[in-house]
Amino acid sequence: MFNRRNILQGMAAGVALGSTTLGSTALGSPRFGRVAGGSPKRVVFFLQNQGFDPATCVPAGMKESGSLSGAELPEPIRPLEPYKDKLHIINGLHGRHTSPSHSAFFGALGGYRGGIGVPPAGATIDHVVSGQLPETLLPHLCIGMDAIENMISRPTLATLSAADAGKPVFMHSNPKLLYQMLFGGIATGDVKRKFEARSNVFNRIEEIAQQSSTTLPPSERERYGGYVAGFREINGLREKLETVSDHLRKFAPEYGDKIVKPKFETDWHDSLLDIGIASLKAGLTNVLTIGSGRGEIFGSWKGLGIVPAGHNLGHMKQPGNPIWIKIRQYNCRMLVKIMKELESIPEGDGSMMDNTLIVYTSNNADKQHTSGANWPFMLLGDLSGTMTTGRYTSVRGNRPINALYATLLHAIGAPCDRFNMEKSIAGKYDSKLGPIEELLA
């Protein structure tokens, strides 16, 4: 059934999806061009809110950098044990300059000062990476997982990713709307009818918006132009998707009860993950950002049998906590699913996973109320042999999360000495110029 509320939600999702194609630049770094040639590469960023305590990922007794081959992974990340040879655990980076507190918001992936309601100061690493890799129909896809009532009331939200200063990139949290947007053209029945109805609305709105913009005063024309561009881009994306409809049919996930009749919020979490994986496998995007908790202090996991939700979870110590063990293991099972799905698709002399890197961390450093003095990460995959794996690295010196992001750019063939960190700031927060050599193969 079509109603005004459904149409408006679809419009919001469409404009937000269109906004992900905006250009990017790195603050304090030269503007990049796309990397040409070489193996195809893709990067997945997965951020869990409320912090990532190092005791939940660093093997017991490991004080110095070394191989993971003889180590036993802590219980919260034990689902990754079969993939230990593809894992790199990093401890000792900091993000003090991002002022994370309850969340660093855009600063978590931007490496700059963030905060609730604070607009992005520059492009975030996920969007910068998307701008360097070979162009796809949808350069950067962001999905956000939350309590189901929040995903329904706010199907799109921007808190973690940005295309440039003051230009947030929206994440998508309603799998119905996202599925209709990406795969509606090849669907049947009600999904197809909603897709066609929404397409007609978008086309007409673009026409009206374009006509109306010419009568606005100059001060309003630029802002209004952003909305016009959003509708134009989503209409253009829809047309491009139609040209590859036969290809998309091979990868489209099931549109079943988990999407239509979710019992718990985790049904939608799983569905969003399936859509994200399908987008990677189909080649719609090379960069996927997943925000569990959507970069804020909320979130719910009742589907795991967890009653506490939102802010209260952040006040619980994570090591040895059965609630946080469940959440972290759920995350890790998602990471394993991404790896298995990409391993199933041949690419070159290996599989898609051979050319992929998964970056897992929190938008909140090590805990909810934090100074950002320690910011653990886990990397999975070697990104076409450019990154080291099967190791634990204890970072020495005063190295910020920006140094890791500069390292990722080196790995994809777009090197920079600093990421989003001007020289004057780097002098205080970074003890070395350039990437973290221990992470590069």
pLDDT tens track for 348-357: 999 999 999 9
Tokens of 240: 């491009």
Residue 186, pLDDT score = 76
Domains of the chain: 30-176+250-439 (3.40.720)
Share of the chain above pLDDT 90, in %: 73
Q: What is the CA radius of gyration of the chain?
A: 21
148-177 burial code (b ≥16 CB/10 A, e <16): bebbeeebbbbbbbbbbeebbbbbbbbbbb
Higher pLDDT, 6 or 170: 170
Average pLDDT over residues 111-131: 96
Residue 203, pLDDT score = 52
pLDDT tens per residue, range 178-219? 998 899 877 667 766 665 556 555 555 555 555 655 666 666
Return the axis-axis angle of helices 175-183 and 4-18, rounded to nearest 10°.
Answer: 60
Residue 248, pLDDT score = 92
Tokens of 20: 């992900």
Given a cut of 80, whether residue 128 has pLDDT beyond it is yes
Residue 239, pLDDT score = 80
Phi, psi (degrees; rounded to nearest 5) at 12: -60, -45
pLDDT tens per residue, range 372-421? 999 999 999 999 999 999 999 999 999 999 999 999 999 999 999 999 99
pLDDT tens per residue, range 36-72? 666 789 999 999 999 999 999 999 999 999 999 999 9
Report the C-alpha gap between 246 and 242 in whole angstroms: 9
Given a cut of 60, whether residue 12 has pLDDT beyond it is no
Average pLDDT over residues 322-328: 98
Cα pseudo-dihedral 27, 276, 81, 84, rounded to 10: -50
Please report the sign of the dihedral spanned by the C-alpha atoms of residue 279, residue 284, residue 287, residue 290.
negative
Whether 440 contacts 407, CB under 8 Å: yes
Residue 215, pLDDT score = 65
Report the C-alpha gap between 239 and 233 in whole angstroms: 10
Given a cut of 50, whether residue 13 has pLDDT beyond it is no
pLDDT band for position 438 (cuts 50, 70, 90): very high
Whether 385 contacts 441, CB under 8 Å: yes
Residue 85, pLDDT score = 98
* Count of other CB atoms within 10 angstroms of residue 6: 15
Task: Please state, rounded to an integer, the average pLDDT across all residues of the chain.
Answer: 87
Q: Residue 309 contacts by C-beta under 8 Å, 6 or more apart in sequence? A: 147, 298, 299, 300, 301, 302
pLDDT band for position 245 (cuts 50, 70, 90): confident
Residue 21, pLDDT score = 31
Given a cut of 50, whether residue 432 has pLDDT beyond it is yes
Higher pLDDT, 240 or 56: 56
Local structure of 362: helix, strand or coil: strand
Report the C-alpha gap between 127 and 141 in whole angstroms: 9
Got the DSSP string for 226-263? HHHHHHHHHHHHHHHHHHTHHHHHTTPPP--HHHHS-S
Closest to 231 (Cα-Cα) out of 5, 17, 7, 8: 17
Share of the chain above pLDDT 70, in %: 80
pLDDT band for position 14 (cuts 50, 70, 90): very low
42-48 and 350-351 as β-strands: parallel, antiparallel, unpaired?
Answer: unpaired
